[in-house]
Structure 1
Amino acid sequence: MPHSDDFLAVHDPAATRPVHAPAAGSGRWWGFAVALAAGLLLLCALTWLVSVQRGLASLQQGTATRADRYAATLESTLDRYEFLPALVSLHPFVRGLLAAPADAQRVAAANQYLAEVNRRAHASATYVIAANGIALAASNHNQPGSFVGTDYRFRPYFQTAAGGKMGRFYAIGITSEEPGYYLAQPIEAGGKVIGVTVVKLNLEWFQRAGSGAEPLMVSDDHGVIFLSSVPAWQYRTLRPLPPALRAEMERTRQYHGRAVTPLPLEPLASPVTRWLADTTLAHGARLVRVRDEGAAGRTTFAPDGAERADRYLELNRTVGPAGWTMQVMAPLDPVLANARNATVAAALAYACICLLLVNWRQRRQRARDMQYSRRLLEAAYDQLERRVEARTADLMAINEKLEDEVAERTRAESELRAAQDELVQASKLAALGQMAAGITHELNQPLAALRTFSDNTRVLLARGQLDAAEGNLTAIADLTERMGKITGQLKLFAGKARPVQRPVALRAAVDHVLALLAPRLGAVTVSVAGLNAVPALAVRADELKLEQVLLNLLGNALDAIDAAAPAASEHGRIDLEVQAGEHAVTIVVRDNGTGIAPEALPRLFEPFFTTKETGQGLGLGLAISSSIVREFGGQLSVANVTGGGAQFTLVLARAPAIDAAPSVSASP
């Protein structure tokens, strides 16, 4: 069955030629679309130009009103303080101080008078300078950074006043480090200047007169901006300074400590901008841009770090007798935004009209398209039916194949389940045989101990040592009970009963195992460490199986010692160390026997693997011990000891403490 999308090339089943769409007059449509696009562009351009022109006119009018208000405020402040230095120079205290500068009384009177005048006038500082340029008295005479004693001969306002004219100067104070406007009045007597009175005004308040969105700045006659509502624009220049003027400013320390650099301000020079400025703006206004230094686009000179507009309408006003220039910068963004909104609105209206025209044209075309669409759908429906029939036949074949596969899988699962049952039965029989062999192996040691205790009992009875004979009989009873527990494991396995794990006293288990092995120890030294530190130490295990594991480990250690030095077993030594942790108990069994060959270490816990000679072991002891330890949730590992011997490490879960058993004693 074909699976390609060949039905997209639909053919009319009732005809021998393909079904084609009716002709749409594409050439006329293109001409109509181009005419609409040209009309839209023309409408948007005219709307934008008219909106910007009206917005600039409105912005200029509002900004001019605010600029006049700012200029009047600054002018009134300067005029109010213009005559204050002259009034101070006429006071007898000031003239008396200049007549006798060394008179302490006159100095104190002048200082007190200047402080009172400065307080009432709300000026920054008022002080008197002698003809030699040294300040004799000041309103801040009793404050840190007093002007008294400072040499002001380098200041232009002093030089102008010393020449007999009124001195005006804006600079940063060399003592207070605060900017201010200095008014200096010469004091004359006998036709010559004998001193100068100076009043310093703080004009920083004027920087806050403008709003944050409308920058305001004042520059001096050299073009240096000394007041600005934008902190980053302060102490910048409107034009590059000549080297001679820059040297003069450094000599007079007018803005000492400040880097006076040009402000990147330039007029907007595009043809549209020039046309708008010529037709809309009045004298003293222009369109400018403040570029960001180091990056193109918008500048970030805003005080709070926010993005500030970079295009402004600038209005200039001349203020003050010193020839200052005040610039009010109105952002153009609102004007441009309004122009964009008006342009978008005009474009939307034009688009609505165009949509109506297109809709009318489409209605005419729709009637012709309906017949074509109907024929197209009929042809597609016929071909779709044929494809569905073919696909249905494929699906039915696939369904039959799947049913056969399901039946085959069901038979395979039944056979697998039967095989698993047989495997489980075989595994059970194998495990039962392994356990029987292991239990037979483990019964040999208790039987040997029974024989030894019974022989000793006969000797003790013959000697009349009844107490010792009674102790041997008690040991024989314990051994028979232990053998009964060992054989009981077969019943547990046959009934699939899960052995119960409970807290087992480790000291009692070790004592019991050492007692069973006492006849084999001979001259071998056994040391037990760590049990006396925690008398009630217990682990989570099965008592009988734990003793079985310990018995296997200690028995293997004795076998290794006998194999190492059968004729000198008095040098044999077994160390049993117990380390009690918070959640686990570690038991280490270490001997000084022959050790374990490196190639035998990986297979040591495999069933029927043994390093002993034939007839001395079945190779099941360590395999059974490892299985028991895993059943307890613990770990059993082995390693060789440096210097000879082997070390088995048994880790078991710690259980709550139980009553302590009698102390463990080393044998022999």
Structure 2
Amino acid sequence: MHKWAMLQRRADQSSTQEQLGRRAGRAWFAFAAVGLAIIAAALYSAGLYARGIELKALAAQGRTDVNLKVALLSAVLENPRALPLLLSQDQQVHDALARRDPVAINVLNRKLEGLVSGTKASVLYVTGANGVAVASSNWRDPNSFVGSDYGFRAYFSRAMQTGTAEYFALGNVSKRAGLYISRRVGNATAPLGVVVVKMEFDQIEANWREANRPTYVSDEHGIVLITSIPSWRFRTTAALAGPDLVAVRDSQQVGHAPLKPLPITRPKVLSQDVSIVHAMVPGGNDAEYLRLSTQVPTTSWRLDYLLPAEAPLAAAVRGMRLLALGIMLPLLSLAAYLLWRRQSAQMRIATEQAARSELERRVAERTEDLSRARDRLQSEIIGHRSTEAKLQVVQQDLVQANRLAILGQVAAGVAHEINQPVATIRAYACNARVFLERKQTAPAEENLGAIAALTERIGSITNELKAFARKGRTAAAPVDLRGVIDSAVVLLRSRFAGRLDALVIEPAPASFKVMGNRVRLEQVLINLFQNALEALDGCDHARVDVSIDETADGVTLSVLDNGPGIPPTILKSLFTPFNTSKETGLGLGLVISKDIVADYGGRIEVESGERGTCFTIHLLKAA
């Protein structure tokens, strides 16, 4: 019974493996079919995408080339257009046409010959009112235009009717194509004749031919006039209708040219001025081109430029398809590997039943490893939390240290700024005591009132600095700048008694107001006035000029002394704390002054040399 069960199990296992094998074969067949379809779709999409991208790049390149060609053609066209206009008003032309004197005609022939040699025109000639050429720049040549009848030419008839004309045609004498620019001589009621300049485009066509990219210009009828391929001249961009063809033949514009359509077929429009065409270029096979068209300014012409597209498009499509294959093949290989792995896993299921116990053992071991890893992770988490708590303590200590440093700077500033009014109070007190000893109560009361005002000022300064320490900065408000200057001078009067005559303050409008705070701006001016007066101590002809000017964006206050100037070593770090050249100074006055001005949107500039020092304060003007 046990042996039969074993055989039955083996048979079941064999049947299961056969079923899995058949399923694997069907799966691989379906995979191959889907893979081939995906590759085909990817290659087709990659080709379309690459073709579109390359067409855009070619179009951008072609537009640049077309713009350059049109600009050059327009420049060439502008050169000869002035000649007929000038000659139609020339007195020698009028004399030759009016008198028909051989001497006058000979002079005109020589003049036209000289003008042609100095310009890019092919030939320049003058016809009478009947269309017969009277004078010409090629009068010496065997095929001279003199005596030829051009009355049938459109440029002659149009010029006689409208005063001016431009007409591209094949010369009936020279048999060379060119642009005829004509101008009537005399008024419409009594015309004397027509001045004609012929311009040929051999140099432009030669330049286009060197680029080896077909370029041609066609008129409003679609007749090719200028081209880099000589055999395309006087062919048409489309078949001419009967009336147009008859009109062109009657005008003899193109001689006996067949006026056949250009060998350009299968146009596919991409945009208004860009299309894909197939062209048969002489010496080559039918090839694909990107055709760009644009209008030639000041004319009815249209310039077409054929940019070879077959090779660039093929290269772009080939490169993009190779890239698509490079992407798809690894992906399909990965999919095949996953399919193979899945089938292998299914094949192994039947044989893995006996290994369950081993698997369970390994699972148990892995669970134990994970438990140990969890314990290590929890320990690391605890360590990180401890480190984070220590970091927060250190950060709090740094914040406290920073706060103490700021308070130290503020305290030093308070001591420096209060020292000036305290010295003034002491001087007023001494003066008041002398006045009281002399029984002069009125001056003593004035000094005591000044002392009271200065104590209020000290209170304002300390309150301001306390407000600064508590709130950061005092809000700006309109301040009378003249009043600030006067208050600063009052504070300095006792300290610099007898020397304030050196302080020359330029008169300023009483209503000159700036944005700031009165007390803080007084501190700035006291620092600058004091520094200037101290710099002039012992100098002859000491002078400190204080001036106020209005600028486009605010107000400038300048303090200029004629002292010895600031040493370069001090000037480089003038606004650095504790940097001073004074034995008793703290080096904070200018630093505090700069911060005060900056708080109200201004700035302080300094210039110093051997002839003195100038501090300039820029402040915002109150609205």
- TM-score, reference length from structure 1: 0.46
Normalized per residue, the structure richer in helix is 2
| Relative contact order, higher structure (CA 8 A, sep 6+) | 1
- Point out the structure with max Rg over C-alpha: 1
**TM-score calculated relative to the size of structure 2:** 0.49
